[in-house]
Amino acid sequence: MSPVNKPAVELANDPDGTLFDSRVRTAMTAFTDDGDTLAFEAAAAVRTAFHAVERLRSRGTDSRGLSSGALDVLIRLSTAPEDGMSLGALAGSAGVSARNATGLVDTLERDGLVERVPDRNDRRSVLARITPRGEEWLDAFRRPSQLAMAAIFRGFTPAELTQLRHLCLRLADNQTRIEQHLNATDQGETP
C-alpha cells in the first residue's frame, strides 16, 4: 500500500474487544516513563475521531465554499434572535476568538449568507444576522449533513451517542477548569 493510501489509524483489539491504534500505543509506550499509556491513547483517539468527523463534514462544506467554522457560525446565526447577534456573543457561543469570528462573518458576508446590521439598542454596536440566502444555503445543506452524520455514527446506539457526547463534554469542562485555575494562578490569586 502506498503511503498516500495508508490508513490514518492502524486498529487492533485489546483482549476485551475494545479498539486501539497500534501505532499510537507503540509511540506512547516509548514516550511514557511508566508505560501507562491509557490517557495518551484516549487523547489520540479523541483527536483521530475529531479529524474523521471534520474530514467528512468538510467534504460537504468545501464543495459549497464554506469552512466548518463558517458553517458553525451560520448555524448559530440561524437560531439567533431576528435582530442578529453581536460578534462578541457569536465568538463566545462558537468558542472562537473575536478576531476569528470577525473573519468568519467577513467570509459569510462576502458570500451573501450573512449581513451586518446596526444594533438598535446601541448605535456603536453592529450585529450579524443570517440572510434569506443564508437560510436557503442551510436548507440545501441540511439533508446531506444529516446523511453524513448518520453514516459516520452508523451502528452507535442512542445510549452510546449520549455517552460519547457526555465524555467529550467532560473533557471540555476539565480543560475549562484547568485554564481557570492557571489564569487565577497567573494573576496571583489563590485558587
Residue 66: pLDDT over 90: no
Shared domain for 121 and 108, answered yes or no, is: yes
- Whether 148 is in a domain gets the answer no
- Whether 102 is in a domain gets the answer yes
What pLDDT does residue 1 have?
46
Residue 2: pLDDT over 50: no
Residue 102: pLDDT over 60: yes
Segment 131-160 shows an average pLDDT of: 91
Helices 87-94 & 68-78, crossing angle to 10 degrees?
120
Segment 75-99 shows an average pLDDT of: 90
What pLDDT does residue 68 have?
78
Can you point out the beta strands (E) in 47-170?
A: 85-86, 114-119, 122-130
Shared domain for 124 and 182, answered yes or no, is: no
The answer to whether 26 touches 36, Cβ cutoff 8 Å, is no
- Whether 145 is in a domain gets the answer no
- Whether 58 is in a domain gets the answer yes
> Strand, coil or helix: what is 51?
helix
- Whether 188 is in a domain gets the answer yes
- Whether 28 is in a domain gets the answer yes
- Whether 1 is in a domain gets the answer no
96 band by pLDDT with thresholds 50, 70 and 90: confident
105: containing domain? 68-138
- Whether 3 is in a domain gets the answer no
Shared domain for 50 and 23, answered yes or no, is: yes
Helices 132-152 & 68-78, crossing angle to 10 degrees?
120
Shared domain for 74 and 112, answered yes or no, is: yes
- Buried b / exposed e over 119-156, threshold 16 CB at 10 Å, is eeeeeeeebbbbbeebeebbeebeeebeeeeeeeeeee
Choose the weakest-confidence range: 47-51, 65-69, 120-124, 173-177: 65-69
